[in-house]
Structure 1
Amino acid sequence: MKVLVINSSPKLDYRGRLLNALGDTDLIRAKPQYTDKLDDGNILDKISGLKPLPDGCLIIVNDHDRSTPTVRIVKLLREAGILVHPATFILATGTHAPTPGETAWKISGAESKDTLLVHNAGDEAQLVSAGKTSRGTEVVVNHALKSAKQVFTINGVEPHYFAGFTGGVKSLVPGLASKKTTAQNHRWAMDPGARIMHTTDNPLHEDLWEAANLAFSTQEVTTVQLVNHGSDILFVSAGFLRPAFESAKDAATRVYGLGLQERVDRIVSIVESPLDHTLYQAQKAMENAKHVLRDGGTFILVATCDQGIGTAAFFKRLQALGTPENVLKSLSFEDYQFGDHKAFYWAELAKRVELLYTGDLPQDVINSTFMRKVTVGDLVTLVNLWKSQGDRILLDEAGGYSAVYLQGN
């Protein structure tokens, strides 16, 4: 199957139209909780304890599917005298499509004196074996990581629906891992312990750290871990990887977490950029909020999806199996194939609630994902109807980043 791309010019502003139409409507709202953001002086103070990076240091940065303000951090590292020598930058794409060259230079912060690499999980020439974890994950990573003398990472930390959080070790694995390694690790997403904002006793999260340590000792990795909302940097933790990540994940919980005392009847989730570009990424908004939606409720996913489906393995599974019941019967940990966890989660939600979609994807595609397409006007009418019925409605203004949970769970 070819990846579907929707050419929508200009890109429709679903977010603006919806928020304008709903105005100050009395809804439960999920959005990032912060009043202050860090200026450059604050960030320089935070990174001042880092040692200068040696010549040729491998610097791992995020790809175009993440909102990390990498260029700003790199600029400040140079200003602080931490990044002086030529370095090797590598974009940790994971299993995403490799970032095109011009875009890679633009988002990496690399200069002409530096070397810039873009990881490709499917390019065998880039990959080398590093061993096997105790859970059976065969660790194959980019040879630049395995041969590095010093590793430095820049990453954003946000809630993640099965890894617990983004950031941290994910720069190394799956960021610089093979597709096979990622698939073997991601089968653990089928385990109940793989949960949003949970890292203790999370088998997938623990397997990531073990896998990364086979490729390069994470105790020797230095880093800048940050919490950001778009271009706003809200928190920075610099130093060795594990403690910096632990500090940043606590901050991410404060910024993006929202605890409710009881379930809601409807969720309207407006997916934030860049997660709104593909259905593959937009699903994170569903997973991050579904736990507070009652059985028989309604989830509305608002995402332009101007770049189509994205990585299509999960979509093929939904399309081939045809019904949520068939998906749930057919997919398992034992017979896991790449993307099955996404298809399984999708079908699980579709079986217990109504799924609606507002965006650019055509109806036939939406039908294959067990959703019904509605316009912005239809959606506003529905919200007003639900309000008149006394329904509890959650409006997630930061879909894919917010993490909404039931207090006490």
Structure 2
Amino acid sequence: MRISLGYAKEKIQVNIPEKNLQGVLAPNTPQVSLSEEESVRQALLNPIDSPLLKETITPGEKIVIVTSDITRPIPTAKILPFVVEQLNQAGIPDRDIAVVFGLGVHRPHTAEEQAMLVGQAMYARLACFDSTPEDTVHLGETSRGTPIDLSRRVVEADRCICLGNIEYHYFAGVSGGMKAIMPGVSTRAAIQANHSRMVEAQAMAGKIEDNPVREDIDEVAQFFKVAFIVNVVLDEKKKIIKAFAGDVLQAHRAGCAYLDSLYKVEIETLADIVIVTPGGFPKDINLYQAQKALDNAKHAVKKGGVIILLAACSEGLGEHVFERWLLNAPNPHFMVTEIQRNFELGGHKAAAIAMVMENASIFLVSEFSPEFTRKMFMTPFPDFESALRQALQEKGEHASILVMPYGGSTLPVMRSPGK
């Protein structure tokens, strides 16, 4: 069977033997009837498990709106005006509203970046600040021992509203919800404690219940009250396709259920060989970006199986800490154990790749040299045909094959018994 796969800026046609093909996994197409603005407005007018935002606010209160930093795709500028409109209707003047960007452990913003994130009109009206991991208030510890140290400006406000986007996260399960607070406005020590649990078996994409990372994040809601959230689900072009507003946990869960309806794809059995591509440029511009597709593919492959990753990586690895971890480790398992002891952004993605390697071999078709690919503990191939030929030779002529043409936005899940 001929299948078209994105690679760099082109589509390549690959042939998969019919007798081996178990299936082609692709996300569902969302049915969008509202504009981005209408979706946000409708969510605010129909909050989940909460009164209208303007009905929860008292004039005279100081409001802080926490949103993501520049490393996240949430379109804050499209959401913020509608939130501020409701606050104004509740009798809150602009001078009593502040926007805080949750940096986590990322770098501070420039003034120009802050203005771009909220939009020029909102930037001219509202005070905007980066979170302050060096100036925090200690609120206790979660049951797992994670310190709850949050930016003082956020804690000392009368009301906190959080904005976010909901997408799969490879160890926190999903983004959005309380993730705006932990790790958004938390300290490095707190983030280290929380994220170090990424190596636990239940810390995986799409999983909320019994996920030690996500449950630790959500437990922070017992120590710090978030009054209201607005979370959005985005399409491949980062446009809002649906918005959810209201209670920090219940509105978030509704958004997660919608995300699942689009991007979770059920499979009957795991495959011997999984062929995956991020979908081409720009998703395969470097390995740091392509990692998400690789991580999703691990949920479809048998233990001891083969993942064939087609990712051009024309701009290399994509992040210097990620590169250091991948190229300097003596073996993959070292990265898995080291990330628990010394959590480091960039290194965490290298460790995630190493965790895939502990379950399956990775055959990489890319622009990297063979020597460079081997340094990353992957097997290099000059083209797809030679990679598939080798995979079939290793796994047998009757090996089962699953194909994931849009690996970054497709999450394979085993079908529940009886369905």
* TM-score range normalised by the length of the shorter chain: 0.7 to 0.9
- Equivalent of 1:93, from 103, 109, 128? 103
Per-residue deviation, 1:352: 3.9
> For the Cα contact (< 8 Å) 1:133–1:211, is it kept in 2?
yes
Query: Cα–Cα, structure 1 residues 65 and 341, in superposed 2: closer, same or farther, change >3 Å?
Result: closer
Per-residue deviation, 1:154: 1.5
> For the Cα contact (< 8 Å) 2:132–2:152, is it kept in 1?
no
Structure 1 Cα separation of the partners of residues 171 and 198 of structure 2: 6
Deviates more, 1:202-211 or 1:347-356: 347-356
Query: Cα–Cα, structure 1 residues 293 and 120, in superposed 2: closer, same or farther, change >3 Å?
Result: farther
For the residue of structure 2 that corresponds to 1:112, the secondary structure is helix
- Equivalent of 1:17, from 7, 10, 15? 10
5 Å-filtered alignment, 1:233-382, equals 233-264=240-271, 265-270=273-278, 279-294=287-302, 295-300=304-309, 302=311, 304=313, 306=315, 308-310=317-319, 312=321, 315-327=323-335, 330-331=337-338, 333=340, 335=341, 337-338=343-344, 342-357=349-364, 366-372=373-379, 378-379=383-384, 382=387
Query: Cα–Cα, structure 1 residues 95 and 311, in superposed 2: closer, same or farther, change >3 Å?
Result: farther
Per-residue deviation, 1:344: 4.0
Query: Cα–Cα, structure 1 residues 145 and 240, in superposed 2: closer, same or farther, change >3 Å?
Result: same
Structure 2 Cα separation of the partners of residues 44 and 142 of structure 1: 29
Per-residue deviation, 1:33: 3.2
Letter of the aligned partner of 1:225 in structure 2? Answer: N
Query: Cα–Cα, structure 1 residues 61 and 233, in superposed 2: closer, same or farther, change >3 Å?
Result: same
Letter of the aligned partner of 1:33 in structure 2? Answer: T
Per-residue deviation, 1:146: 1.7
> For the Cα contact (< 8 Å) 1:257–1:404, is it kept in 2?
yes
Letter of the aligned partner of 1:283 in structure 2? Answer: Q
Per-residue deviation, 1:317: 3.9
Partner of 2:63: 57
Partner of 2:72: 66
Structure 2 Cα separation of the partners of residues 276 and 142 of structure 1: 35
Partner of 2:216: 207
**Unmatched 5+ stretches in structure 2:** 1-5, 47-51
Q: Which has the larger radius of gyration?
A: 2
Per-residue deviation, 1:184: 0.4
Letter of the aligned partner of 1:371 in structure 2? Answer: M
5 Å-filtered alignment, 1:74-89, equals 74-77=80-83, 85-86=93-94, 87-89=97-99
> For the Cα contact (< 8 Å) 1:61–1:153, is it kept in 2?
yes
1:47 aligns with 2:36: no
Letter of the aligned partner of 1:111 in structure 2? Answer: Y
For the residue of structure 1 that corresponds to 2:232, the secondary structure is strand
Structure 2 Cα separation of the partners of residues 15 and 212 of structure 1: 42
Structure 2 Cα separation of the partners of residues 360 and 29 of structure 1: 25
1:170 aligns with 2:179: yes
Per-residue deviation, 1:321: 2.8
Structure 1 Cα separation of the partners of residues 410 and 296 of structure 2: 7
Query: Cα–Cα, structure 1 residues 360 and 140, in superposed 2: closer, same or farther, change >3 Å?
Result: farther
Partner of 1:33: 29
Structure 1 Cα separation of the partners of residues 372 and 110 of structure 2: 27
Deviates more, 1:91-100 or 1:269-278: 269-278
Structure 1 Cα separation of the partners of residues 195 and 206 of structure 2: 16
Query: Cα–Cα, structure 1 residues 80 and 132, in superposed 2: closer, same or farther, change >3 Å?
Result: closer
Structure 2 Cα separation of the partners of residues 142 and 367 of structure 1: 43
Per-residue deviation, 1:102: 1.9
- Equivalent of 2:149, from 135, 140, 145? 140
For the residue of structure 2 that corresponds to 1:283, the secondary structure is helix
Per-residue deviation, 1:41: 3.2
Deviates more, 1:129-138 or 1:31-40: 31-40
Partner of 1:105: 115
Letter of the aligned partner of 1:17 in structure 2? Answer: E
Structure 2 Cα separation of the partners of residues 104 and 277 of structure 1: 26
Aligned-residue RMSD, C-alpha: 3.7
> For the Cα contact (< 8 Å) 2:170–2:205, is it kept in 1?
yes
Structure 2 Cα separation of the partners of residues 303 and 102 of structure 1: 32
Per-residue deviation, 1:111: 2.3
User: Kindly, what percent of the aligned residue pairs are identical?
Assistant: 23
**Unmatched 5+ stretches in structure 1:** 1-12
Per-residue CA deviations over 1:340-373 (Å, capped at 9, x if unaligned) read 7544432232244332445676766644432355
Per-residue CA deviations over 1:57-86 (Å, capped at 9, x if unaligned) read 211222233222322222444566768732
Partner of 1:189: 198
- Equivalent of 1:400, from 393, 403, 408? 408
> For the Cα contact (< 8 Å) 2:8–2:281, is it kept in 1?
no
Q: TM (normalized to structure 2)?
A: 0.77
Per-residue deviation, 1:292: 0.6
Partner of 2:3: none
Per-residue CA deviations over 1:360-387 (Å, capped at 9, x if unaligned) read 7676664443235556xx2377569989
Per-residue CA deviations over 1:26-47 (Å, capped at 9, x if unaligned) read 9613234313253233442221
Query: Cα–Cα, structure 1 residues 103 and 261, in superposed 2: closer, same or farther, change >3 Å?
Result: same
Per-residue deviation, 1:96: 3.1
Aligned residues: 385
Q: TM (normalized to structure 1)?
A: 0.79
> For the Cα contact (< 8 Å) 1:58–1:152, is it kept in 2?
yes
